[in-house]
Structure 1
Amino acid sequence: MSAPERIPPRGVTDDPGATADLLARGELTVRGRIREASNAALFCTVAHDGREATCVYKPVAGERPLWDFPDGTLAGREVAAHEVSEATGWGLVPPTVLREGPYGEGMCQLWIEAAPDAELLALVDGEEPEPGWKAIGLAEVGEGRTALLVHADDERLRRLAVLDAVINNADRKGGHLLPTADGHLYGIDHGVTFNVENKLRTLLWGWAGEPLTPEAVEVLDRLRDGLGADLGARLAGLITPAEIDATRARVEALLTSGTHPEPSGEWPAIPWPPV
């Protein structure tokens, strides 16, 4: 018997539809638990019709209750984030599906191996970032000292900042950024998204108040159209009608302002812990 065909992440595979089919229909085998995750996150293999991949399975039954999100909705929000990401054409969220698994319904997402040497965040001395970096804010580093927390001035991060503003991501930490060896960038952990209230918390504030790129404006125009048509229909089974309306309103607000959003002051701007 021949070995199964291994499915790598986007950037290497040319058929994301086939990958989604594998994630949705394949046999899930739990290999271990990701203990750093706040909710139950299981490292698995998924195999179907001679193809195999590694993935993350987060059962709804393992979600911790949150005061500001309805119980049992985080998995659907993860899938919704992938749908919006795909509609942008940027492919920022790994292939993600909602399916039954060994512990009931949950989200299943292709596992991404991050490149170990990619540096997107740093702590530096001084009050201004060096060229090629954007300031986030001052951070305490012990013994009464502070350092400037910065992120790379990278178009991949800038696209992700736009996506986060659209989906109202309340938890964009450094550990949720996965650059790959082939130069692609993924964002993961999108369970706390799409709230109708402004919840944007992120490390990617470096472009706050700056004009959106022409590319971003084109993408937002496309999202606005899609939310009233096919994209809205796909989101309907994953988030509520009010949350879809709020997503459309955020897109409209971005297009009207023409700029990256700034912290509102009504909600902590940076997630804790930041990484």
Structure 2
Amino acid sequence: MSVPDAGDLLSSGELTVLGRVSVASNVTLVCDLGTGDGAVRVVYKPVRGEQPLWDFPDGTLAGREVASYLIATALGWPVIPETVLRDGPYGPGMVQRWITTREPAEPGSTRLDLVDLCPPGLVPDGYREILRAYDGAGDEVSLVHADDPRLLRMAVLDVLLNNADRKGGHALEGVDGGVYGVDHGICLHQDNKLRTVLWGWAGEPIPADLRADIGAFADSLPGELADRLSHHLTDTEIDALLRRAKRLLDAPVMPLPETARPIPWPAF
């Protein structure tokens, strides 16, 4: 689905559950969305299926996903698929457009995903090494991600969102050529929670075009956008978002890790 009224379709169509994503920590359901002229594939995360967290208020993750989408849209960055908060078969929840990704690499192929593992010392051109670790078999591996401007834009967005859970599997390369981020329920806390696998640009300047978008976003935030975000976030969290934007404008450099756990676990 790539249409101007995607949000309207997501909000109004009847959800038919097809199955559950078993590896997700919160209840994540794959659904068809009946729109009267066919079906659209979506992800539905009911609020009642959210696992309690010690540092995020209960029942707020779906709203944080919607707020993250609103922020990305206000920036003009098509990074997060269309996302709405609506009722469904299991009560209110987040509904998001499904991203169809490219086919996985064939066995034995040297092609890497956007975020991947490779043997140490064999990081291919166009990738940045984040760290070295040991896999389940005890072999040393390098965690790498693509040196891709579309992924850099996602990394900058994560700083603004204060994303506490940017795993490798949350960065998707769509068949439409776009790079999308999903799973933004653990975002937008007022305290520093940034945990990501996208540390490859740490300490480097933020490109001028992205800085311009952040400047326009910061100017617009106190108005209608803040009113829309207030349905999902507290005033303190919205104020913290504005401070993060202004901090990036004052010091337009990608941050260095500041916490004891800068990478989410598991990393994928």
TM-score (normalised: structure 2): 0.93
CA drift at 1:22: 0.8
In the alignment, structure 1 residue 69 sits paired with structure 2 residue 56:
yes
Report the Cα distance in structure 1 between the residues aligned to 2:122 and 2:218, rounded to whole angstroms.
36
1:255 alignment partner in structure 2: 249
Q: Deviations over 1:207-239 (max 9, x none)?
A: 001000011101110110121122212111111
Q: How does 1:106-145 map to 2 (within 5 A)?
A: 106-117=93-104, 119-126=113-120, 129-141=123-135, 145=139
Note closer, same or farther for the CA distance 1:99–1:267 as it changes in structure 2 (3 Å cut).
Answer: farther
In the alignment, structure 1 residue 154 sits paired with structure 2 residue 141:
no
Q: 1:211 aligns with which of 199, 205, 224?
A: 205
Partner SS for 1:104: coil
Q: How does 1:47-62 map to 2 (within 5 A)?
A: 47-62=34-49
Q: Deviations over 1:137-177 (max 9, x none)?
A: 11113565422211110001100001000000000011111
Report the Cα distance in structure 1 between the residues aligned to 2:201 and 2:136, rounded to whole angstroms.
28
In the alignment, structure 1 residue 32 sits paired with structure 2 residue 19:
yes
Note closer, same or farther for the CA distance 1:166–1:128 as it changes in structure 2 (3 Å cut).
Answer: farther
In the alignment, structure 1 residue 21 sits paired with structure 2 residue 8:
yes
Amino acid at match of 2:127: W
Partner SS for 1:136: strand
Amino acid at match of 1:45: D
Amino acid at match of 2:70: E
Q: 2:235 aligns with which of 227, 238, 241?
A: 241
Report the Cα distance in structure 2 between the residues aligned to 1:130 and 1:45, rounded to whole angstroms.
39
Q: Deviations over 1:27-62 (max 9, x none)?
A: 111111111111111111112343531111111111
User: Any conservation in 2 of the 1:100–1:106 contact (CA below 8 Å)?
Assistant: yes
Moved over 6 A (4+): none
Q: How does 1:82-231 map to 2 (within 5 A)?
A: 82-117=69-104, 119-126=113-120, 129-141=123-135, 145-231=139-225
Comparing 110-119 and 166-175, the one that deviates more? 110-119
Q: 2:263 aligns with which of 251, 265, 270?
A: 270
CA RMSD across the alignment: 1.6
Specify every segment of 5 or more residues in structure 1 that has no aligned partner in the other structure, as ranges: 1-7
Q: Deviations over 1:80-124 (max 9, x none)?
A: 010011112121000000001111111111111111247212333
CA drift at 1:178: 1.1
Partner SS for 2:132: strand
User: Any conservation in 2 of the 1:199–1:267 contact (CA below 8 Å)?
Assistant: no
Note closer, same or farther for the CA distance 1:212–1:32 as it changes in structure 2 (3 Å cut).
Answer: same
2:28 alignment partner in structure 1: 41
Partner SS for 1:246: helix
Q: Give the length in aligned residue pairs.
A: 261
Specify every segment of 5 or more residues in structure 2 that has no aligned partner in the other structure, as ranges: 105-111
Partner SS for 2:135: strand
Amino acid at match of 1:205: W
TM-score (normalised: structure 1): 0.90
The percent identity for this pair of structures is 48
